[in-house]
Amino acid sequence: MAVRAQFENNNEIGVFSKLTNSYCLVAIGGSENFYSVFEGELGDVVPVVHTSIAGTRIIGRLTAGNRRGLLVPNSTTDQELQHLRNSLPDSVAIQRIEERLSALGNVIACNDYVALVHPDLD
Given a contact cutoff of 8 angstroms between Cβ atoms, the answer to whether 96 and 110 are in contact is no
Q: For residue range 29-48, list pLDDT tens digits in order.
A: 888 888 888 999 998 999 99
Residues 2 and 71: their CA atoms lie apart, in Å, by 27
Burial of 38 (0-12, 13-18, 19+ CB in 10 A): buried
Q: For residue range 58-102, list pLDDT tens digits in order.
A: 999 999 999 999 999 999 999 999 999 999 999 999 999 999 999
Q: What is the pTM of this model?
A: 0.92
